[in-house]
């Protein structure tokens, strides 16, 4: 049975996955739908949490003539807030995964996985972490293009369920999170991707937005090493044409690039008319 989630497909096959990010905006989603990205993360942490706009954006990401880009959603709440309802709403609309910001402990990571799973009886296979997601699959099943019955069968968390199509990604954005990352991955099955939060890490280290500062690069290296020991993929949130070769060599597998727009006609016109200053 072919995968529906292109991110999980790439990670399971040990290849690189390419992603970008956008606010929930139908026009932006339509523009992204024609690109070569594997995934698009709809940004809800530092952008408004607009559920109608998210619903419409998911629809505009679909295309008839190509495999759709996989939509993921970064929820607003920090891990310690355990805001399960944001994940529930995004998954009920059809998102294929949730990005959880500011995860710092085993308890927070366990909540992240539980919020993305439906409950099952103790003693059944892959019971832990026990699911707490509420039951309302109609819109998600329709978005995935399958029946509600099949959605139940395929909507568990990967790799906890090898056939699951839901990705749980956690962001490690503090020294406490790094210190606890080994225990998180050892004790909480179901985490498919780890994303370093370079911005917040650099703030905590006293070198804001200096992503190449030795303190920041050492923190990222610790994350890479901890995840490599456990076979968990790591993403890089600030991939550019200048650093992509190094990012790949360092071992990152989920590569996020900014949605850059250029205006060559405008830029050349301003230069030719002396208005480029």
Which tens digit of pLDDT belongs to each residue from 7-65?
Answer: 999 999 999 999 999 999 999 999 999 999 999 999 999 999 999 999 999 999 998 87
Task: Report how far residue 57's alpha carbon sits from residue 238's, in angstroms, rounded to the nearest whole number.
Answer: 23
What's the confidence (pLDDT) of residue 270?
86
- Hey, CA dihedral for 79, 80, 81, 83, is it positive or negative? positive
pLDDT tens track for 50-92 = 999 999 999 999 988 777 899 999 999 999 999 999 999 999 9
**Residues near 249 by beta carbon (within 8 Å), at least 6 away in sequence:** none
Query: What is the pTM (predicted TM-score) of this model?
Result: 0.93
For each of the domains in the chain, give its residue range(s) and CATH number, in order of start.
6-272 (3.20.20.60)
pLDDT at 171: 98
Beta bridge partners of residue 42, listed in sequence order: 22, 73
């Amino acid at each position: 049975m072919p995968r529906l989630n292109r991110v999980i497909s790439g990670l399971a096959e040990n290849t690189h996955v390419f992603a970008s990010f956008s606010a929930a905006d139908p026009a932006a989603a339509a523009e992204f739908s024609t690109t070569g990205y594997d995934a698009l993360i709809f940004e809800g942490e530092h952008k408004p949490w607009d559920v109608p706009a998210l619903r419409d954006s998911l629809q505009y990401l679909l295309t008839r003539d190509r495999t759709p880009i996989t939509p993921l959603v970064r929820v607003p709440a920090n891990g310690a807030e355990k805001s399960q309802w944001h994940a529930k709403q995004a998954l009920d609309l059809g998102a294929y995964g949730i990005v959880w910001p500011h995860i710092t402990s085993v308890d927070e990571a366990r909540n992240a996985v539980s919020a993305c799973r439906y409950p099952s009886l103790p003693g059944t296979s892959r019971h832990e972490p026990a699911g707490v997601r509420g039951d309302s699959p109609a819109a998600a099943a329709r978005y995935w293009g399958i029946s509600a019955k099949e959605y139940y069968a395929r909507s568990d968390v990967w790799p906890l369920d090898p056939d699951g199509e839901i990705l749980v990604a956690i962001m490690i954005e503090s020294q406490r999170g790094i210190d606890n990352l080994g225990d998180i991955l050892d004790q909480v099955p179901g985490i498919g991707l780890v994303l370093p939060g370079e911005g917040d890490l650099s703030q905590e280290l006293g070198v804001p937005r200096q992503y190449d500062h030795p303190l920041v690069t050492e923190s990222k290296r610790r994350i890479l090493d901890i995840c490599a020991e456990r076979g968990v993929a790591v993403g890089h949130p600030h991939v550019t044409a200048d650093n992509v070769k190094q990012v790949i060599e360092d071992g990152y597998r989920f590569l996020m690039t900014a949605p850059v727009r250029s205006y060559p006609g405008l830029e050349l016109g301003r230069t030719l008319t002396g208005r480029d200053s």
